[in-house]
Amino acid sequence: MAKVAFLLASYFEDSEMKNPYEAIKEAGHEATIVGLEKGIVCEGKQGTVSYTSDVAASEVNASDFDAAIIPGGAAPEALRVNDDVVRFVKELNEQGKLIAGICHGPQVMISADILKNKAATSYIGIRDDVKLAGAEYRDEEVVVSENLVTSRTPKDEPAFIREILAKL
């Protein structure tokens, strides 16, 4: 059983959280919602789901987790400016652990400076940011590059989830 952190703030893309979260739990893994603060309600931007954070980013250590998943939407913008979130993602990367981001999720990877010399994809609106962060951008449903898994949009979720589960 793997311990998976879901990095979450409000205005995430509903399905990009709900579907991987449910798939991780169904596969028998432990899912922990890491927010900017403990116990805050994070609302999906479509209004179909909400989640309460289990723990604050300031309280997590990469050594306690096997992976992190970063749903897209507007949430990554709030996450990427938080020093504790960035530290956590950097530490996971240094330990070679799985980091998966979909849609705008790679914005957190950009801020953690972990895309250099990797291949990645994302929502097209941040394609240039991904390239400027040193990644080889690929317009594909899912890109696996060492410990990173990235996808573009909700329609890529089946491939995104498949590759995450394969890595776990």
Please give the share of the chain, as a percent, with pLDDT higher than 90: 100
Q: What is the mean pLDDT of residues 44-61?
A: 98
Task: Please give the positions annotated as active site.
Answer: 103-104
Q: Give just the sign of the alpha carbon dihedral 9, 10, 15, 18.
A: positive
The 10s digit of each residue's pLDDT in 120-130 is 999 999 999 99
> Into how many domains does the chain fold?
1
pLDDT score, position 35: 98
pLDDT score, position 111: 98
CATH of the domain at 160: 3.40.50.880
Q: What is the mean pLDDT of residues 11-18?
A: 98
> What phi-psi label fits residue 73: left (phi over 0), alpha (psi between -120 and 50 degrees) or beta?
left
Burial class (CB in 10 A: 0-12, 13-18, 19+), 80: buried
Please give the model's pTM, rounded to 2 decimal places: 0.98
Q: Give just the sign of the alpha carbon dihedral 83, 84, 90, 94.
A: positive
Give 69's pLDDT tier (boundaries 50, 70, 90): very high
The CA R_g of the chain, rounded to the nearest whole Å, is 14
To which H or E segment does residue 30 belong?
strand 30-35
The 10s digit of each residue's pLDDT in 88-103 is 999 999 999 999 999 9
Q: What is the mean pLDDT of residues 49-63?
A: 98
Could you tell me the residue range of the domain that residue 139 belongs to?
3-167
pLDDT score, position 54: 98
